[in-house]
Amino acid sequence: MSNNEMLIFSAIVTSVEKKIIGRVANMTSRGRQNSIEILLYYVSIAGGGHHLEIGTLFGGSAIPIAILKKGAEHSGLVFCIDPLNGYYREKLGRNDVNDPHGGGEPITPETLFNNINLFGVGDRVCVIRANSTKCPLFGDIRFSTAYIDGNHWDGVPLKDWLYVKDLVTDFVIFDNCDEGHPDVMHACKVAIDDPEWECVYNEKITCVLERRG
């Protein structure tokens, strides 16, 4: 990634961070991480085509991708799969839908659509309110890129990989591939061992697979 590209991607993410209702998930207690910039880089390499995102929260990654696509005049929609019923509500046994991190905004369709409208990308984002493992197949729709950042436990990352890998033509990007998320690391290992895919980036918390050929 060139310095100019990094500046462009960073500027997009920073603009979203400043205005978004809620938070961008690359803002952590350890400080700002550049995982969204890396995601934008591989989406830009893929060029046109649809993007599939598993795990959306407030739209902190989907919205930058939509902004990038519009600015670059690339074709394709951003499809988002998320139950939008709180922060890992079932996993953590929470009774409310508010995000326990940051400002505590509600993780609901209303908040997400408010953000989508705030950034003027409603024509580029398609929201599917569902758990990824229960989401219907997309028929003939294919995606140039996919971002796996949903449930990090209970074998779900591997299920997400198996779900998206045959739908994607270029890149699959994993978030949170680190020792704190062994199920994500296991899914990445399976993906790296897949003969149809090649690992082209694996640093810190981000792992990127490119379809061979």
Residue 198, CA distances (Å) to 42, 170, 172, 173 in order = 14, 10, 10, 12
CB of 150 within 8 A of CB of 54? Answer: yes
CATH code: domain of residue 150:
3.40.50.150
Q: What is the pLDDT of residues 159-198, one digit of tens each?
A: 999 999 999 999 999 999 999 999 999 999 999 999 999 9
Query: What is the Cα–Cα distance from 186 to 205, expressed in whole angstroms?
Result: 13
Does 102 have pLDDT greater than 70? no
The residue range of the domain holding 49 is 3-211
- Cβ neighbours for 5, distance < 8 A, ≥ 6 positions apart: 41, 44
Pairing of strands 27-28, 31-32: antiparallel
Does the pLDDT of residue 137 top 80, yes or no? Answer: no
- Overall domain count for the chain: 1
**What pTM was computed for the model?**
0.93
- Distance set, CA 179 to CA 105, 139, 142, 185 (Å): 28, 35, 31, 7
